[in-house]
Amino acid sequence: MAAATSGMVLVTAASRVSGYLRDKVVAALLGAGTVSDAFITGFRIPNMFRALLAEGSLTAAFVPTLVAQRSAGDEARTREFVRAMTAALLLLLPWLVVAGILATPWLVALLAPAFAQDPGKFELTVRLTRLMFPYLGLISLAALAQGVLNAADRFLLPAATPIALNLAIVAGTSTTVWLLDGRWEWLAAGVLAGGFAQYALQARACRRLGQPLLPGRGALRHPGVRRVLSLMVPGIPALGIYQLTLVISTRFASTAGNGAVTCLYNASRLNELVYGMVVVQLTTAVLPMLASERAASPERARETLAFAIRLLSFVTLPATAFAVAAARPLVGVLFGGGAYTAAAVTATAGALLWYSAGLPFLAATKLLASASYAWQDTRLPVVASAVNLAVFYGLGKPLLAAFGIAGVAAAASAGQAANCVLLGVGNGLAGRLPPLRSVLLGVGRHLLGAGLAGLAVAVMGARLHVGVETSARGLGLLALLGVVAVGVYLAVLVALRAPEWRELRSLMRRAGKP
């Protein structure tokens, strides 16, 4: 499990670094205001459909169907299926994109109703959204290509292609501000160029693999295509609940003042760094392991789940402590400066603090949902997600009124906590969880070490005066705080003779061998 997780960390880290570079350039050049709110909201709309349809239910339904076709050993039939699927997407996607473009004013009003109070801001958001909506078609074709590559055990290129999108957005934003004198419609050009690059890079790899993405006969009549479309439907509700959470977050933020959408978005992106680089990779590795082990030995599967829980807490608890203790210097050094003001830094830091508090629950939720899927229980994750949404919506309005966008982040973390508890209780009653004694001691050690590391960072950060803008001095001081946090945390684990320290040292030794 650790080997499978670490194998993709380098590519994922590069992708996340390029994502940070994208967000930093947008923040520095656009600040937190009308244009950035319009751009982020406009980009979020086709991205929601991407997550719901393209990289969500489509990938989940297409890959198993393609694997089943390949296992039959008939390459000609496999190519026929891929070409029929390509034809089906080329037939359906234009209608979906056109419908989205026509419905854009209603979609913007759904996500950001408060923008209507500023006609210029609302019109800019609608214009940018319409220009960026074809990205949905490009990324859907890219998702098809990713499925073809993943079914052939090719994972590296699909994981790396978001770098092309991020760099294209950086180029588009820079060109718009520096060369086109603020003609904001050209911000969409970077998004479209990035989407095309994601598709083109993977389509070329598919052609070299012998599975070109060319339209073929059958389209909607092909039995494989019909099976994919039928399998997509059950997966949409769970994904839809998460997308509703994003919609509600944006709606709440849009009422909190100009720039609030941007600040909340940046806080969420920072919180996703650890989640994307570690949690997603770990749960991706653990799901097939749990599924195969459950069939052979449920007890072995529970032992694997216990190790995964300890490994998650080993990473997420200190990350949470560091982000909570150093929220303002972290945001200031990474986003501050340029058009991103000190007020924007303060607002983003408040949201980051509360998002970070929910990171352990978010990680545990992802892992416990994987356990449910391994035991072929798809109902519990949907019910838990619905409870998450209800808690978030119920707390969002009062906390927003009391604390601004920090209240939105706190409500989101409370929803994740409720989700985690329900998944834990449900899986526990079903007998899928390991004994508490196998995880409590390890989690307790991690909690103690993380708490002391966070305290050390808070005390040192108050003395260092890191600042609220990007600078070499700020980056150096932030790195120093990180070294202190890691040092204190590992020292506590060594003092407590935690086995995770020995496991980490063993992994590092093996990684250093040729």
Percent of the chain with pLDDT over 70: 90
Q: Do 410 and 354 form a contact (C-beta atoms < 8 A)? A: yes
**Average of per-residue pLDDT across 27-32:** 94
pLDDT for the residue numbered 184: 94
Given a cut of 90, whether residue 450 has pLDDT beyond it is: yes
103 closest CA partner among 151, 46, 51, 59:
46
Torsion of the alpha carbons at 423, 424, 430 and 434, rounded to the nearest 10: 140
Question: Which segment of 86-100, 164-178, 270-284 scores lowest on mean pLDDT?
Answer: 270-284
β partners of residue 226 = none
Query: For helices 34-49 and 2-30, what crossing angle results, to 10°?
Result: 150
For the record, the structure tokens of 359 come out as 């990171």
| Residue with more model confidence, 485 or 363 | 485
| Res. 6: pLDDT tops 60 | no
Residue 19, C-beta contacts closer than 8 angstroms, at least 6 positions apart: 162, 166, 269
Return d(Cα 244, Cα 509) in angstroms, integer.
44
Query: Among 315, 90, 316, 269, which Cα is nearest to 162's?
Result: 269
CA 215 centroid distance within chain: 31
212 close to 69: Cβ distance less than 8 angstroms: no
- pLDDT tens per residue across span 92-125: 999 999 999 999 999 999 999 999 999 999 999 9
Q: What share of the chain is helix, strand, coil (3-state, %, to 5)?
A: 85, 0, 15
Confidence label for 514 from pLDDT (cuts 50, 70 and 90): very low
Residue with tokens 């790396």: 160
Q: How far apart are CA 182 and CA 175, in angstroms?
A: 9
pLDDT at 382 over 90: no
Give the separation between CA 327 and CA 311, rounded to whole angstroms. 24
Tell me how far apart the alpha carbons of residues 381 and 389 are, in angstroms, rounded to a whole number: 12
CA distance 25 to 35: 14
Q: Which parts of 345-394 are beta strand (E)?
A: none
Q: How high is the pLDDT of residue 505?
A: 63
Give residue 511's pLDDT.
47
Q: Which of 369, 389, 266 is nearest to 312 (CA)?
A: 369
Q: Looking at the predicted structure, is the pLDDT value of residue 255 above 80?
A: yes
Q: What is the per-residue pLDDT for 304?
A: 81
What is the per-residue pLDDT across 391-411, written as a single tens digit (0 to 9) for each? 999 999 999 999 999 999 999
Contact present, 236 and 52 (Cβ < 8 Å):
yes
* Rounded distance between C-alpha atoms, residue 264 and residue 349, angstroms: 9
Identify any residues that bridge with 363 across adjacent strands, giving them in sequence order. Answer: none
Give me the helix-helix angle, 405-429 and 342-357, nearest 10°: 10
Helical (H) or strand (E) element with 402: helix 379-403
Report whether 79 contacts 224 (CB < 8 A).
no
- In the block, tokens 């950086």 appear at 170
Over residues 450-460, the mean pLDDT reads: 96
User: Residue range 272-295: average pLDDT?
Assistant: 68
Ranges 258-262, 306-310, 323-327, 445-449: which has the least confidence: 306-310
Q: What is the pLDDT of residues 120-170, one digit of tens each?
A: 999 999 999 999 999 999 999 999 998 898 888 787 888 889 999 999 999
pLDDT by residue (tens digit) across 180-211?
887 999 999 999 999 999 999 999 999 998 88
Q: Which tens digits make up the pLDDT trace of 288-338?
A: 566 666 667 778 888 888 888 888 899 899 999 999 999 999 999 999 999
What 8-state DSSP symbol labels residue 118?
S
244 or 405, which is more confident = 405
What is the residue type of 453? A
Whole-structure pTM value = 0.86
Residue 64 scores a pLDDT above 50? yes
Residue 144, token pair as written in the block: 């098809």
340, β-bridge pairs: 337
Across residues 3-14, what is the average pLDDT? 67
